[in-house]
Amino acid sequence: MKNYKNLEKIISRNFINKGYVILPAQNLKILQIIKKKIEKFITKNHKINIGKKITLNSIHKYINKEKLNDIRLSIINFINQDKNFKNYYFRIAKDYLSILVGNDLVMQKNINLSIQLPKDNSSLLPIHSDVWSGDSQFEINLWVPLVNCYKTKSMYILEQNNYLYFTKIIKDRKINDSQNLFEILKNKLKWLKVDYGDILIFNQNLPHGNIVNLEKETRWSMNCRFKNIFSPYGDKKLGEFFFPIDTRPMTELALEYDSPF
């Protein structure tokens, strides 16, 4: 219990100061299961034999970028129809999420997948904050790489300690578009190095995004939002966008309670 308390303090402090934490996956075996499921699906359904010769990192050598989105959507459909996949994903970071968000958690219904081929500009997320498009400021994002992600093969974020600088810029300058905002902030942005076996949990209220992957490998990463069931919702509601993933016994009873009067 004492070690857990120390871990809780370290994770909480780092998250508050930076707006994100990069930590070892709680259960590496489960992460390996997730990766193997995706590799087997690709091998079976897209006739690309993932193994020693062809890896997720090198898959760009064997697929046409025009087919990339069809492949990505088929994998997203597969992982979200798998009854166990969401629970596996949650268990990769269960205790970390409990520290940062609390108990009584809800999870986004669909896990997202990003595949970014080298020099491909079709999979870009310009600088943004999820709150700007209707998400609740109480949501947190669990980002899980299936390969080592670094430099332009990863994502960037404006760290929490630079957020005040950002708010001053918004007030003092006219922002024409997302590219204009990126150019203004680029020297303050932090490129995150997240190796396979680690996970990233970040505050999606902070500006973040990616650019063209200029590395020689393909990026594979999954992401999914979590929040406390009782915290305020944005445009995306419980039952429509979120479902309960880890609720306490009293919460379950209270949600099922039907007044006799």
pLDDT exceeds cutoff 60 at 146: yes
Q: What angle do CA 20, 214, 25 make, to 5 degrees?
A: 35
In a domain, 260, yes or no: no
Which of 215-224 are b and which e, b meaning 16 or more Cβ less than 10 Å from the residue's Cβ?
bebbbbbbbb
In a domain, 172, yes or no: yes
- Kind and range of the H or E run holding 77: helix 68-81
Of 29, 54, 25, which is closest to residue 39 (Cα–Cα)? 54
- Kindly report, residue by residue over 200-259, the tens digit of the pLDDT: 999 999 999 999 999 999 999 999 999 999 999 999 999 999 999 999 999 888 888 888
In a domain, 94, yes or no: yes
Q: Domain range holding 60? A: 2-247
DSSP state of 218: -
In a domain, 146, yes or no: yes
In a domain, 261, yes or no: no
Residues whose CB is less than 8 angstroms from the CB of residue 231 and which lie 6 or more positions away in sequence, other chains included: 136, 138
pLDDT confidence of residue 4: 64
CA distances from 192 to 92, 106, 125, 169, 201 (A): 19, 26, 15, 23, 11
Q: What is the pTM of this model?
A: 0.93
In CATH, what number is assigned to the domain containing residue 177?
2.60.120.620
In a domain, 252, yes or no: no
Classify residue 204 by burial, with Cβ atoms within 10 Å: 0-12, 13-18, 19+. buried
- Kindly report, residue by residue over 24-49, the tens digit of the pLDDT: 999 999 999 999 999 999 999 998 99
pLDDT confidence of residue 176: 79
Kindly state the average pLDDT of the residues 102-109.
Answer: 95
Residues whose CB is less than 8 angstroms from the CB of residue 207 and which lie 6 or more positions away in sequence, other chains included: 127, 128, 129, 157, 158, 166, 181, 185, 189
In a domain, 6, yes or no: yes
Annotate 92-161 with DSSP letters as a single string: TSHHHHHHHH-SSEEEESS-EEEEE-TT--SS---SB-GGGGT--TT-EEEEEESS-B-GGGS-EEE-GG
Counting the structural domains of the chain, the total is 1
In a domain, 255, yes or no: no
